[in-house]
């Protein structure tokens, strides 16, 4: 019986293909224009790293280890630059100290060339540093992502939380791998790397979510994002919240699908932190929830008073994705848009009162 040749395809190669598909979808969704290119770069490097991991552990090619180390540091750097870019609207070329983030990669390349001994420890320190920075950003709550569209900031915040956990965990995984090589010559490292690769898939899914994919999320309590206990609103907070209410009603800013916290703060001549704090304390919700409340109320008016399709209502009210629209509509009214319209029309035809918004 002739031998049957079977090509061994490591799982990381499959992961790399999936990541390339995600990358293509992101580019198409943005029509070739991307406001935060670091997310595209992050997924691209993850795809390349998956190939490298497949070659290393699938075919036992030790020569590729230096490239794996360099790519690992680039991933940690890009993860921070991607989410830090959602905090500010400044373009990459105008962000301060941007070039300093090249130093970790240059350091690893230098160690590979001249002093390989401390490479593992250096990578652990780099991952720990970026992991801590991401955790600090996540600790500030969703309003910290001031340049993220308010329609999708909750998804972006979830992505940030997952990424912060993944990068910080990578430092721990590297420690475990180093210990495994010291104790057993790397007997269990293959399994450890496999688990790490699954974790990378989660991070990439989160990055894709930030780029435009939304999914239902539960409400986030931001009342304690700056401390353990809610803080009573000051007179200034109340004044800001009142002025913001007036601005939202008179200029209908909620209709802007690209509205974000930074843009809202500029229109008021205040800092993003002042606006966020006032809304958190006075309204007991995040800025995204506050704006989406106005959008849902407008959607309810359109559903009751016009014959526009639900999709057109969604866009006219300021939402950009169905998932966010349905999630926020359910949060505010307790019903889906179609069910709300049906009930509103039934009440109207029977001479009753149109359903009031929940809360």
pLDDT tens for residues 69-91?
A: 898 899 889 988 888 888 876 66
Q: Which has the closest alpha carbon to 73: 130, 15, 135, 137?
A: 130
Which pLDDT belongs to residue 154? 74
Element (H, E) at 310: helix 310-317
CB 108 within 8 A of CB 73: yes
Mean pLDDT of all residues in 156-171: 78
Of residues 327 and 348, the one with the higher pLDDT is 327
Specify the higher pLDDT residue, 332 or 39: 332
Contact 50, 16 (CB under 8 A): yes
DSSP one-letter code for 357: P
Distance CA 20, CA 237 (A): 46
Question: Above 70 in pLDDT, residue 16?
Answer: yes
Mean pLDDT of all residues in 112-132: 89
Q: What is residue 225's predicted lDDT score, i.e. its pLDDT?
A: 41
Axis crossing angle, helix 119-139 with helix 103-114, rounded to the nearest 10: 170
pLDDT value, residue 222: 42
The CA-atom distances, in angstroms, between 44 and each of 74, 156, 243 are: 11, 19, 44
The listed range with the strongest mean pLDDT (137-146, 169-178, 239-248, 320-329) is: 239-248
Which pLDDT does position 207 carry in this prediction?
52
Sign of CA dihedral 309, 315, 316, 318: positive
pLDDT, tens digit, 9 for 90 and up, residues 203-252:
555 554 444 343 333 333 444 344 444 677 788 888 999 999 998 888 88
Instruction: Using DSSP, state whether 32 is helix, strand or coil.
Output: coil
pLDDT for residue 110 is more than 50 = yes
Q: Which residues contact 338 (CB under 8 A, 6 or more apart)?
A: 310
Neighbours of 325 (CB within 10 A): 26
For residue 149, what pLDDT is reported? 77
Share of the chain above pLDDT 90, in %: 12
The dihedral region occupied by 65, where left means phi > 0, alpha psi between -120 and 50, and beta the remainder, is alpha
Q: Give the mean model confidence (pLDDT) for residues 303-321.
A: 88
Measured in degrees and rounded to the nearest 5, phi and psi for residue 113 equal -75, -35
Of 278, 320, 319, nearest to 297 by C-alpha is 319
Tokens of 292: 């989406």
Of 97 and 25, the one with more pLDDT? 97
Which pLDDT score is estimated for 1? 39
Q: Identify the pLDDT of residue 191.
A: 59
pLDDT exceeds 50 at position 32: no
Where does the chain show beta strands of DSSP type E? Answer: none
Q: Is the pLDDT of residue 99 over 70?
A: yes
Q: Give the whole-angstrom CA distance, residue 122 versus residue 169.
A: 15
- The number of beta carbons lying within 10 Å of the beta carbon of residue 27 is 14
- Apex CA 7: angle with CA 180 and CA 185, to 5°? 10
| Nearest alpha carbon to residue 161 among 111, 120, 218 | 218
pLDDT at residue 65 in the model: 83
Q: Look at residues 26, 21, 47 and name the one whose alpha carbon lies nearest to residue 37.
A: 26
How far is residue 219 from each of residues 39, 61, 331, measured CA to CA in Å? 25, 47, 8
Asked whether residue 189 carries a pLDDT value surpassing 70, the answer given is no
Q: The whole model's pTM is what?
A: 0.70
Quick check: 27 pLDDT over 50?
A: yes
Distance CA(41)–CA(32), nearest Å, equals 14
């Amino acid at each position: 019986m002739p031998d049957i040749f079977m090509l061994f395809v490591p799982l990381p190669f499959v992961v790399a293909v999936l990541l390339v598909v995600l990358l293509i979808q992101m580019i198409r969704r943005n029509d070739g224009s991307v406001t935060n290119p670091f997310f595209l770069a992050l997924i691209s490097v993850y795809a390349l790293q998956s190939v490298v991991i497949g070659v290393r552990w699938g075919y036992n090619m030790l020569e590729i280890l230096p490239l794996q180390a360099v790519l690992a540091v680039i991933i940690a750097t890009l993860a921070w630059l991607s989410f830090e870019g959602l905090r500010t609207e400044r373009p990459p070329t105008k962000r301060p100290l941007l070039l300093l983030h090249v130093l970790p990669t240059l350091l690893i390349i230098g160690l590979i060339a001249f002093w390989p001994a401390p490479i593992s420890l250096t990578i652990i320190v780099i991952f720990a540093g970026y992991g801590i920075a991401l955790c600090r950003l996540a600790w500030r709550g969703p309003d910290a992502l001031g340049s993220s569209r308010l329609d999708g900031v909750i998804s972006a915040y979830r992505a940030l939380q997952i990424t912060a956990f993944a990068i910080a965990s990578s430092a721990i995984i590297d420690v475990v791998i180093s210990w495994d090589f010291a104790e057993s010559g790397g007997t269990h490292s293959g399994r450890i790397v496999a688990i790490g690769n699954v974790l990378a898939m989660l991070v990439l899914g989160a990055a894709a979510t930030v780029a435009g994919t939304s999914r239902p999320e539960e409400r986030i309590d931001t009342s304690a994002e700056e401390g353990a206990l809610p803080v009573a609103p000051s007179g200034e907070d109340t004044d800001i919240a009142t002025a913001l209410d007036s601005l939202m009603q008179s200029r209908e800013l909620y209709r802007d699908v690209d509205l974000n916290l930074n843009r809202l703060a500029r229109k008021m001549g205040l800092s993003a932190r002042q606006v966020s704090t006032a809304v958190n304390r006075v309204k007991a919700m995040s800025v995204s929830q506050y704006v989406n409340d106005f959008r849902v109320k407008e959607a309810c008016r359109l559903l009751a008073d016009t014959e526009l399709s639900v999709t057109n209502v969604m866009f006219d009210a300021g939402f950009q994705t169905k998932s966010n629209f349905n999630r926020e509509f359910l949060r505010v009214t307790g019903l889906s848009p179609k069910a709300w319209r049906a009930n509103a029309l039934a009440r109207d035809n029977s001479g009753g009162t149109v359903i009031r918004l929940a809360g």
